[in-house]
Amino acid sequence: MKSKKLGVIGAILFCAIGLASCQTPYHEDGERYVFVATNVNLPYWQEAQAGLTDAAKQMGVKAELVGPDKFDPQEELKAFQKVVESKPAGIMISVARPELLQDAINTAIAQGIPVITVDSDAPTSKRVMFVGTDNFRAGGESAKRIADLLKGTGQLVVITIPGQLNLDERARGMNDVLKKYPGIKLAQTIDDNGDPRVANDNISALLKAKAKIDGIICLEASGGSGAAEALHRLDVKIPIVGFDKDPETLDWIDRDVISATVTQKPYVMAYYALKFADDLHHNAVHDFKDWRTAPAPPMPTFVDTGTAVVDKSNAKVFREALAAHPPGFCQMLAAATPKDLVQHARTAKIAVLGAFFGLLGGTLAAAVTHGCTVAEAKGGWITELHHFPSSMAQNFWMSIVAWTTCFVLTILVSLVTRPRAEAELRGLVYGLTELKHDESRNWYGRPVPVAIGVGVMALILNFWFA
């Protein structure tokens, strides 16, 4: 009897194992999702990539973030079209220009590829849903904060990128709130094209021209740090309300240059956008047979990921609460310009201070090595710990000790020091330094003619004394 029971149990287990082994896995091998961003070099999109990567790991799928390395709607369109040709399981995109990308989005949908817009929408396209900030409300938050700082009166400069739908929505929300403050006038709108250097140059030009500016409101991420650098360099105190939580903006809040910033949640946007795209690909929501033929989207058409306002009173707590999402080392090396390299280096806390102490430590290590070793009666001025057969061998080991010390010290100091704001790197980094123009000087006072003259004189002297 017992043997019969054991036989039945064994048969049941065998069948269960067999059925389990025959079950098709939920995700296919090589199932791939792609996020197309407007500017992959911005810290904002690096944070989004972290959310994308975390969600992909949890789900067991492949996911990547692609797009132009600067704000360029035409290049974003090309990147999107290339992604569509690769036929991924789903596409997420932050739309730089809705009118430019609408047809491409509709083409992807027609091919059965789910498209979800993230951060910036294309509402008249056939995209399935939008995940991101309620930008109208966020623009209103920015306006309310600047109005409080200006006490309801003053000349306001706005930094944005006109034509980008999410920023236009913020501008609409800002204008709606400012109607309640007739004493605040919009003096000028600056298009910084997503580049803090452009914001810096424009604000600097206005201040040097003695334009009346009582407040600055930034509706995109890069403008705040650019405007702050200009105010700091010219020693001017004007309230700034920024946008987003990139490291430079938070640094300027700590230094009382930026008054507040309205922060978004790019990590959350990308994280949930991928999950929604996965559900669409697998028709996981059974409201209709297939999302492709459904009369209405099976997903919510708008998901608001929310915002938070950060100022000096809560900046420290906000920083401590943030999870760390550093960029990858390969992404740092792929940066296209000196400015981009500095941006990534600062985000990863590879500080200038670390490089300085690394060089200093390496030099001292070389000196100590020379002082403690002897070769051909040279060195040993501290003590004689080792005798080299030749000066070349001594120099070789001095170089090894110096390089190793420099390398280790640079990493250690960089890990324990805070990232530097852009203003502190001016004059050290070419891409961040305002270049002086020499057109107003006489020709003999310009560097190029002087350098040519010195070079010619050096050649003459070399031939004369040869």
Digit-coded pLDDT (tens) for 88-117: 999 999 999 999 999 999 999 999 999 999
Q: Are strands 308-311 and 302-304 parallel, antiparallel or unpaired?
A: unpaired
Domain residue ranges in the chain: 32-133+267-306, 135-263, 350-417
pLDDT-derived band of residue 352, with 50, 70 and 90 as boundaries? low
Pick the CATH number of 32-133+267-306 from 1.10.540.10, 3.30.70.1350, 3.40.50.150, 3.40.50.2300: 3.40.50.2300
Note the pLDDT tens digit of each residue in 207-244: 999 999 999 999 999 999 999 999 999 999 999 999 99
Q: 36 has which bridge partners?
A: 66, 93
Note the pLDDT tens digit of each residue in 383-408: 888 888 888 888 889 999 989 988 88
Q: How far apart are CA 336 and CA 75, in angstroms?
A: 15
On whether the pTM is more than 0.85, the answer is no
Q: Residue 290, CB half-sphere, CA atoms under 13 Å: how many?
A: 5
Task: Provide the CATH number for the domain formed by 135-263 in this structure.
Answer: 3.40.50.2300
pLDDT at 197: 92
Evaluate whether 32-133+267-306 and 135-263 have a shared fold. yes
Average pLDDT of the chain? 85
pLDDT-derived band of residue 50, with 50, 70 and 90 as boundaries? very high
Note the pLDDT tens digit of each residue in 415-457: 776 655 555 555 666 555 555 555 556 777 777 888 888 889 9
Calculate ∠ Cα 49-54-59, nearest 5°: 125
DSSP summary character for residue 220: S
